[in-house]
Amino acid sequence: MTQAPPDIPMRALFDAQYQASRAQIDVSLVVRRDRLKRMRDLINTHGAALADAVQADFGVRSPQLTEVADFLVLRALLGDLEKHLTAWTKPQRVKTPLYLKPASAYIQRQPLGVVGVIGPWNYPLQLTLGPAATALAAGNRVMIKPSELTPHSSALLAKLLHEAYAADELCVVQGGSDVAHEFASLPFDHLLFTGSTAVGRKVAAAAAANLTPTTLELGGKSPCVIDRSVDMADAALKIAHGKLLNAGQTCIAPDYVLLPRGMEAAFEQAFTAAVQRLFPSIAGNPDYTAILTERHLARLQSLVTDVASQGARVVALGQGDQPVNRQMAPTLVFDAPADSRLMAEEIFGPVLPVLAYDGMDDAVRYINERPRPLALYWFGTDHLACDRLLSRTVSGGVTVNDTLMHIAHENLPFGGVGESGWGAYHGEAGFLRFTQQKPVLVQSRFAMGDLFYPPYGTKFDRVMGLLKRWL
């Protein structure tokens, strides 16, 4: 297929997809599978080049990290879609209530039409191609707006996708915030955005003008709650891995730790050992991802400077104060004031506040007094304590005795709640997110609906009396 001309206006690209989606509402399994196969072939053929492009965008980000954090997740998602596609597209029979029998009913699953995907910069392949693949599996046309903050990977992704797909199947538009606003203002049948809560508000407002339904995958301050029953060394290693993967530039990265008062020193020692095991060095280590830009780095440094000036104890691990190649040292912060910027903003970097609690009620209260998080993590062996915490808090998702892993489970919906987002995708939940579930009732020729027609009288009263006893 030929690459879409770069000078085609965005609205013209949308109109072409819109017309194509209305002309071909019934998208066959053959077509859907072919579109998924092209996505898999693209990853398999050009994965190394795409990983190099991501590396160029970050400055330091190992191809191995892209392989596990982007391509492994994408391959699992594609495999799950391919495996279940036949079953998911079938009409779903439903039981018919007594008062409507002998009618029958089913739910017909149809494509929505044109789906927009606004991708983020932190995992520019997985979090862009994943939703796009799910929307294609559901029979939709897809338009992608990748992040302008990752120009190398965005440009290569656009080139490869335009070579693999016709423009009225899948296309990519590039540009800055002005393009993103115009993109979000298109009358999509569904729009998925992954990014910050602040930008998510703008996307939701732009989409609302067209009553475009949205899925917003945002962020927030995801807590790690440590119970007294914890194996501290094991928990610290898993928290360090989750926090420092991609240098903390992960929407579901642990944002802060809540642990029983008196265990701070044990955690500091265990976390320090975990960092040394994972990253024996920081500066120049190809496994330790750089902060994306100098602006993002300056913000993180400002958060640490501000909280230190407010009396917090700051512990930088692994190197001196000055980052090399934007590789910022893992940093623990103890006794951060609740009103500090560090505790108010999503951190999105390798800085981890540690807060002590006196009892589980205090931990629950602290979490519930703040916006609901995208993820919550619990560590310990006391299952009753874990159940009590989960039953008393609300979050987008949970991993128990690990971090991040719930996002890799294709049978679990992934999404936020409240300020951390709305809507979920992955697996069948994602397929249904991009599907119109059309209810269909088929009336029987033996129907007795006329029993409910006026004029009302004694016969109607008897029928209603019987139904009241049965229902």
The residues annotated with a catalytic role in the active site are: 217, 251
Q: How far apart are alpha carbons 345 and 335 in whole angstroms?
A: 16
What kind and span of H or E run contains 172? strand 170-172
Residue (of 69, 64, 39, 41) closest to 52 by Cα position:
64
- The string of DSSP codes covering 377-437 is EEE-S-HHHHHHHHHH---SEEEESSSSGGGG-TTS-EE--GGGEE-EESHHHHHHHTEEE
Amino acid in the structure at residue 378: W
Q: What torsion do the CA atoms of 78, 33, 86, 127 make, to the nearest 10 degrees?
A: 30
Q: How far apart are alpha carbons 216 and 417 in whole angstroms?
A: 9
> What contacts 151, CB < 8 A, 6 or more positions away?
57
Residue with tokens 């139904």: 467
Q: How far apart are alpha carbons 309 and 337 in whole angstroms?
A: 11
- The string of DSSP codes covering 60-74 is S--HHHHIIIIIHHH
Residue with tokens 């029993």: 451
Amino acid in the structure at residue 306: D
